[in-house]
Amino acid sequence: MEEVLSRIENGTTIDTIAGELAMNRSTLLAMIEFLVDEGYLERVEMRCSCSTRDLCEQCRGTDTGSEMAVYALTPKGAGMVERLKS
């Protein structure tokens, strides 16, 4: 789990980390969900949050598909990464 956290950096994808750790993609996804539950990562909502209908019409394309998932390091996760690196 620490290995996964410490590998999260700019431009990383789940496939890249799974390849680097020789880990099954499904296991890695389960681990990421666990990290989300524990507050180390947060799942970023990519859909727009317009309050008016007209603007939502315009922003419909800003979500890049239901299969898309983006996770950001939370301050707790970033703190853990800092500790791991030092």
Partner 1 sequence: MKLGVEERWDLIDRISKETVTFGVYRHTLKDAIGELTIKPMTGIPVAIAILYGFWSVFGSFAGFFTDGFFVRLFDAYWLPWLQAVFPGEGGWLYAIMVDAGGIESGEFVLSSNCLESFGVLTSGLFVAIGVVLPAILIFYLMLAILEDIGYMPRLAVLIDTMLHKIGLHGYAIVPTILSLGCNVPGVTATRILETKKQRFIMMTLLAIFIPCGAQIGIMQDVVPDLMGWILLYLIIGYFIFGYILNKVIPGRAPEFLIDVPPYRRPMLSNIGKKVLGRVKGFFMVALPFVMLGCAIVGVFYQLGVIRFLGDLLAPIFVGWFGVPAETAGPLVAAFLRKDLAVAQLSVIEMTKYQMITAVVLVSIYFPCVATFVMMLKEGLKELIGALAVLAVTVFLYGGLIHLIGKLLGVA
Please give the structure tokens belonging to residue 50.
Answer: 């317009």
Residue 4 burial by Cβ neighbours in a 10 Å radius (0-12, 13-18, 19+):
buried
Q: By CB under 8 A, is residue 14 in contact with partner 1?
A: yes
Q: Does 80 sit near partner 1 (CB under 8 A)?
A: no
Residues 17 and 7 sit within 8 Å (Cβ to Cβ):
yes
Residue 11 as a binder of partner 1 (CB under 8 A): the answer is yes
Q: Which residues of this protein are in contact with partner 1, per CB under 8 A?
A: 1-2, 8-15, 17, 23-24, 26-27, 29-32, 34, 41-42, 44-50, 54-55, 57-62, 64-65, 67-75, 78, 81
